[in-house]
Chains A and B, each alone.
Chain A
Amino acid sequence: MKNPLIELNNISFQYYGQEHKALNDVSLTINKGEWVALIGHNGSGKSTLAKTINGLISPESGEIKVNGELLTEENIWDIRKMVGMVFQNPDNQFVGSTVEDDVAFGLENQGIPRDEMIVRVNNALERVRMSDFKIKEPARLSGGQKQRVAIAGVIALAPDVIILDEATSMLDPQGRQDVIETIRALKEETNLTVISITHDIDEAAYANRVLVMKQGEIIHEGTPEEIFSHGEALIGMGLDIPFPEKLKASLRKKGIDVPNEYLTREGMVEWLWTYGLRK
């Protein structure tokens, strides 16, 4: 059953002093419980699109509906409660002076009583496995830990949607994996809707749907398998090529006839070990 949570209708936006439109007549529907990955080159309008959803940027034309409600000046703060956002730079979104203060920041803004705040802060930190770091200062945390705290700050607010705006792009592979796993586990528990803007192939692979943006427009849309089968063209879309695709390309060069459709790591192994038999 389709259950549209976010609807964007014909959104256009142009930054002041820029020649091209950052968003050009974009329409998009995201359903409840869906994981959508937005990919595309720098400057393709991904972040701008994400920021329109919770009203950080108001589009020049078009309308935005979150949970059936039209985004307006009056309900912007209610909609921000529904849409949590994690940004790219782990340092620049850490408002609190310690981990627990940072997680509590959003709750303080909503005027939630202190007793309930303590419970929610503890739960959120538990979820992202950062309870031991409660009274630590940001200067003593790694990038991945800071990003997990940022996620805790968002989930303490219990939003319906989490937008990850390149939230893993400044992390090392381990930190990246940790953050993605945290989000994945959270999504399974709470039927969260996730919109992730990313250049990371593994992160895109978790999505139910991948949208490719170019110059403010959505140019491709499909499951990760469909998108990944573009092979070399993926680099042009701002994504890395998945390892099985790289392997296929090398094998093709050696004159080996590989299947055209996308194969996961396991699929590739499967295909490889049966390759000899098929001949």
Chain B
Amino acid sequence: MMNKLILGRYIPGDSLVHRMDPRAKLLASFYFIGIIFICNNFLSFGVMFAFTLFCIWLSQIKLSFFLKGVKPLLWLILFTVGLQILFTRGGHVYFEWGWISISQFGLVNGFFIFTRFVLIIFMSTLLTLTTPPLSLSDAIEYLLRPLEKVKFPAHEISLMLSIALRFVPTLMDETEKIMNAQRARGVDFGEGNLMDKMKAIVPLLIPLFVSSFNRAEELAIAMEARGYRGGEGRTKYRVLNWDKTDTLAMLSFVILTIVLVLVRN
């Protein structure tokens, strides 16, 4: 069940994109999501599409991974596209029935929304496929650090994030163990109607909760025993290196923005 999720997985590699500074990648991804709303005609979407494909080619990851990333969200996309098609009026009308009409503008809008969704998913998949979660949390900490001036707990948030990421596989294993243990005692997961299914989750959830509390306590004691007393006066083992490729990547986004502004209507 969990293995199907492509978004949020990391595929080790040594491509140009892999080697980029996670801060650059994170900023670029957010920026990309922002500028995709500049696009408003076929040409500008074409430019964005070409750019995304180029980035994917640079990462040397197969396109099929990205298509798999879109799959779980396909229904959401189709639903939104459907609404757009049915409820946008204007231009040549192809079909009309009551308050529903399929018009030229509707189809075009639907197509744009579809492309927008797919491109955003492609880009965020590219980010998570090429960046280890750890570097991502480092990048987030770095980018949040200026907020410490307004008493924002950047260190605490990044520590929480990295501990959470580190415990994901451990807790997944445990979930599986508890599931199997409860199955061995006769619990049926995923059987019966909705109510039954929800009831079957309880013997999984409560032991998991309790063991998380135990883990949290033991981890806190272990951290304290190793001299942890908050973010102050700490040095860092991991460092992030911003080099020439990162600056170049940022420049390419500036150029992309200029091109988009020029080709939009």
Contact = CB atoms under 8 A, between A and B. Distances in A.
Given A77-B229, A97-B166, A108 B134 contact: no
A169 to B, nearest CB: 14
Contact of A91 (B170, B225, B234): B170
A111 B169 contact: no
Given A94-B166, A97-B134, A139-B169, A108 B225 contact: no
B17 to A, nearest CB: 19
A195 to B, nearest CB: 13
A108 B134 CA distance: 17
A114 B134 CA distance: 18
Given A56-B221, A98-B134, A114-B239, A109 B228 contact: yes
Contacts of B238: 101
Given A101-B237, A111-B234, A138 B170 contact: yes
Interface size range on B against A: 20 to 34
A109 B234 contact: yes
Interface size range on A against B: 35 or more
Contact of B235 (A80, A89, A112): A112
Contacts of A121: 237
A96 interface: yes
Interface in A73-114: 77, 80-81, 84-85, 87, 89, 91-98, 100-101, 104-114
A106 B225 CA distance: 9
Contact of B221 (A87, A96, A101, A104): A87
B226 A92 contact: no
Contacts, number: 94
A54 interface: yes
Nearest to A106: B226
Nearest to B234: A108
Contacts of A143: none
B222 A93 contact: yes
A137 interface: yes
Given A97-B134, A97-B166, A109-B229, A92 B222 contact: yes
Contacts of B225: 54, 56, 80, 84-85, 87
Interface of A: 51, 54, 56, 77, 80-81, 84-85, 87, 89, 91-98, 100-101, 104-114, 117-118, 121, 137-139, 153-154, 157
Given A54-B225, A157-B226, 7 more contacts: A56-B221, A95-B163, A96-B166, A97-B166, A98-B134, A108-B236, A138-B166
